[in-house]
Structure 1
Amino acid sequence: MKILSILFAVFFINTTSENITVENIRDAYKVCNQSREHADKFFELTEKATENKGAIYLGYYGAALALKASYSWNPISKMSYFNKARKTIDAAIQAEPDNIELRMIRSSIQTNVPKILGYHKNIEEDRDFILNNLENVDTTALKEYIEGYIEYSDVFSKP
């Protein structure tokens, strides 16, 4: 795990928005919840990546905002980050409703936020969408990435 952290740090230092790829962001997303440092680096990475065009960059930025909310100690900041995260993720999905990766991002966020926040209404919809469309994913890397999420997430072990 320490090697992954070092690689993440080296990658982060050497990136600009022009060379940040979705693959780079996926790799960072896998470890962003391990520490506040990883979360902060993921936030900065996705913030830079929003300069690129595409709803997927917006979706990951929304996930980074949600992570920022989870690490914030100030209740006002926490709610501000969370509300912005929710709007950002939902805007990305509204732009590309058939994007399975965006559905995975929303699912991962909704399954981890407290139910009291009311951002859990799409969990079953996204789970079903992912399961029904996984076979249509045409890139091996993305398919393996989503399959990894399915194995990791409790949402897919429930009927």
Structure 2
Amino acid sequence: MKKFFTFILLSVAMLSQSQTIPELRGYLKQGEESAAAGKQLIARSMAGYNKTKLPIYQSFLAVGYFFMAKHDANVLNKYKHFKNGKEQMSAAVRKDPSNVEIRLMRYISQEKAPRVLGYYKEMEADKNHILKWYKTSPDMALQRYIESYFGLK
């Protein structure tokens, strides 16, 4: 009976994660151009992370902070958002360094960050990891996105 309840709990957790990740990806697509989408990305990913403690949510949270750094008019707030994003992304990668989607988010974030901020040092390692392991992901949408992003097909 105990195993049954554990199975149910894990199934519900996985189902809720699978429903949320596509939603967060939608905010990723809008967040670079929309401060409102960036704020939604922060709120939704923070809720997902607080509920599950999964690093994938932490990486979405990081990208939300990077978006807010772009949209905020105040220079001090821009840097604060950037610093929060960098800290969250580093923590997510430390917790799950083999996760291709987390490494992809860090790669793209570093690619888009102004060079003067010095946030580009892991790009080569991330790209190598992504290209080596992306086909092992069971997420076909992620595989197609990576192939498109890197011009593989």
Tell me the TM-score normalised to structure 2 length: 0.79
Contact 2:41 2:60 in 1 (8 A): no
Number of the residue aligned with 2:24: 25
Number of the residue aligned with 2:118: 118
Number of the residue aligned with 1:109: 109
Q: Which moved more, 1:84-93 or 1:126-135?
A: 126-135
Counterpart CA distance in 1 for 2:66 and 2:33 is 14
Contact 1:101 1:146 in 2 (8 A): no
Counterpart CA distance in 1 for 2:96 and 2:23 is 21
Letter in 1 for 2:69: A
Contact 1:110 1:123 in 2 (8 A): yes
Contact 2:45 2:61 in 1 (8 A): yes
| Moved segments of 4+, more than 3 Å | none
Counterpart secondary structure, 1:21: helix
- Gap change, CA 1:37 and 1:31, over 3 Å in 2: same
Counterpart CA distance in 2 for 1:64 and 1:139 is 22
Counterpart CA distance in 2 for 1:139 and 1:113 is 27
- CA radius of gyration, larger in: 2
Counterpart CA distance in 2 for 1:150 and 1:66 is 21
Instruction: Compute the displacement of 1:140 (Å).
Output: 1.7
Q: Deviations along 1:96-151, whole A, 9 cap, x unmatched?
A: 01000000000110001101101100111111111111221123233223334334
Q: What 5-or-longer segments of structure 2 have no aligned partner?
A: 1-15
Number of the residue aligned with 1:74: 74
Aligned CA-pair RMSD: 1.9
Aligned length: 135
Contact 2:92 2:102 in 1 (8 A): yes
Contact 2:27 2:38 in 1 (8 A): no
Q: Which moved more, 1:133-142 or 1:68-77?
A: 133-142
Q: What 5-or-longer segments of structure 1 have no aligned partner?
A: 1-17
Instruction: Compute the displacement of 1:80 (Å).
Output: 1.0
User: Does residue 96 of structure 2 align to residue 96 of structure 1?
Assistant: yes
Number of the residue aligned with 2:83: 83
Counterpart secondary structure, 1:83: helix
Counterpart CA distance in 1 for 2:88 and 2:55 is 9
User: Does residue 150 of structure 2 align to residue 150 of structure 1?
Assistant: yes
